[in-house]
Amino acid sequence: MAYSPKILAFAGSTREGSFNKQLVKIAAQGARAAGAQVTVLDLRDLPMPLYDGDLEAGQGLPENAGKFRKLMLEHDGLLISAPEYNSSISGVLKNTIDWASRPVAGEPPLACFAGKVAGLMSASPGALGGLRGLVTVRSVLSNIRVIVLPDQVAVPKAHEAFGPDGKLKDTQQHSAVENLGRNLTAVLGKLKG
C-alpha cells in the first residue's frame, strides 16, 4: 500500500473569524487532494496556560498540552498558518510550541518536532500579508529541528481576500496555498515513503 503522510494543520490564532484559520483549511484541501491524511486543529479547542516552569514543575504538563503533543507525535508534517502580531509570532502559537517542546521522560529531546516537515503561510490585513512574522516562525521551527519548506504564501489585505465560500478570490493565490499542501505531501512522500 502506498504511503499516505499524516499532516497536522492549524493556525496560530484562536479568533473565531480568523483569516489564518480559513487559509490553513485551503492548504489542507491541497494536501488531501495529493493523498495526505490531514487533521485540522483549532487551537481554541486546546487552551493552554502561559508556559511557566514553576507550574510545570509543580503540576506537570497541562492536559491540553499533552493532547497537543500526542497529535504532534502522530503526524509526519505540519501546515501552519501564522498570523503576524507586531511583526512577529503570535503569543498563542509561541506558547503552543513552547509547551510541546518540553522534555518528557522516555522520549528523545524535541520528539514532537525533530524530523517533522512544515509548510508555512500567513494572512493579514496589512500590505505584507504577515510576511515579517513568518521570518520568526521559520527561525523558531528550524532551531527545534523542523524542516521548513522554502516556499511560503503571505496573503495581504486578508479582510478583502476571501469570498463567502471561504476560498481566496484571487485564483492564483488560492492555487498557491493549495500547492503548499500538495508540496508538503510530496516532500513527505520522498522523505518517509
**The residue count for the chain:** 193
pLDDT tens, position by position, 7-51 = 999 999 999 999 999 999 999 999 999 999 999 999 999 999 999
Q: Is the residue at 132 inside a domain?
A: yes
What total number of domains does the chain contain? 1
pLDDT tens, position by position, 133-166 = 999 999 999 999 999 999 999 999 999 999 999 9
Alpha-carbon gap, residue 118 to 141, rounded angstroms: 8
* Structure confidence at residue 1 as a pLDDT band (50, 70, 90): very low
Q: Is the residue at 135 inside a domain?
A: yes
pLDDT tens, position by position, 53-111 = 999 999 999 999 999 999 999 999 999 999 999 999 999 999 999 999 999 999 999 99
CA atoms within 13 A of residue 180's CA, in its CB half-sphere: 31
Which domain range does residue 175 map to? 6-192
Alpha-carbon gap, residue 122 to 21, rounded angstroms: 10
Q: Is the residue at 1 inside a domain?
A: no
Alpha-carbon gap, residue 91 to 123, rounded angstroms: 16
Does the predicted model carry a pTM greater than 0.75? yes
pLDDT at 126 over 60: yes
Query: Residues 91, 160, 78, CA angle at the centre, nearest 5°?
Result: 40
Q: Output the nine-digit C-alpha cell for 150.
A: 522554502
Sign (positive/negative) of CA torsion 102, 105, 109, 114? negative
Give the CATH number, domain containing residue 165.
3.40.50.360
